[in-house]
Amino acid sequence: VELSKEGVWVADVDGRTTLANGPATEILGYRPGDLIGRNMLEALDPEVLARIRPYLGTNPPTEPLDDIPARRADGSRVWLSVAATRLRNDSGEPFGTMAMFNDVSHRHQLEQDLRASNMELDRLAYLDGLTGLRNRRALDSEIEEHAGSRRQVGILMMDIDHFKRFNDDNGHPAGDRALVAVAGALTSALRPDDKVYRYGGEEFLIIVERATDQQAMVVAERARSAVTALRLPRSASQPNLPLTISIGVATGQPAQVPMRALIAAADGALYQAKSRGRDRVELAGAAAVPRGETRPHAAPPSRVAS
């Protein structure tokens, strides 16, 4: 037993330790002899005991238990791989339990780190690398989650006005900085449950949860104003003209109007905002939203004062 590289622990039928070899005391942080008479189950958390108890029964399982957390003498945690067997006398009567265990804390930590890394990679796969906003992949997932929902949602489709000219006049690094700034401004305009996505290039999309026409328009106007408030000059030759966005809005219940139809309707309203002078919000009419509910005539579109 003492020559074994594994920890060996022997206890009587009441769980009191009758033998613990050197590796066992070293793994658990005790001095030789300190474990004799102690109930080793006291070193286990209550939720772990449920996994251990079958190994203390009449016919314990033969497969080892992995990743069992136990407390060391100083209170720190150690992770064990444990195999146990029931000890019987010549008459077949059980008189104790013998467990052999190894410290697998290093392996456990590596697995935890790998799991965390994989979770982070999964998270990054749904984010836009430049702005940190959710990307089209995340939007596709959100569209699936909304399928069949009877909660009214608003779709805000938006586009930075004259952005190609901005890039040509100021350079692509300045364009990237502008996209990051616009992303931050849009995020600041959201309510707690709303989400903003980088739709592609200079296009962004916001999903406004549980939104009437008016509520969606309020969020849209707040987003438009937040971008204008950045006061990003459109170009060096036009320092007093800020970079602006145009927004198209559509609302409906995904159970009646598929999300992609709402996005198409919002995109059509965005086109109207562009054609009517830019730097404004347009609400899609009832005819623009297939299978949607008939709406009253929309209020006049929002527009920034010149």
* Placement of tokens 């990054």 in the chain: 124
φ/ψ (deg, to 5) at 184? -65, -40
Q: Are 230 and 187 in contact, with CB atoms under 8 Å apart?
A: no
Structure tokens at 111: 């697995």
Q: CA nearest 178: which of 136, 135, 224, 131? A: 131
Residue 202 annotated in active site:
yes
Q: Which of 6, 202, 221, 282 is catalytic?
A: 202
Q: Which amino acid is at 266?
A: A
CB atoms within 10 A of CB 300: 7
Q: Are 221 and 302 in contact, with CB atoms under 8 Å apart?
A: yes
Q: CA nearest 244: which of 282, 217, 279? A: 279
Q: CA nearest 209: which of 165, 149, 159? A: 149
CA 132 vs CA 84, 123, 135: distances in Å? 50, 11, 9
- Residues classed as catalytic: 202
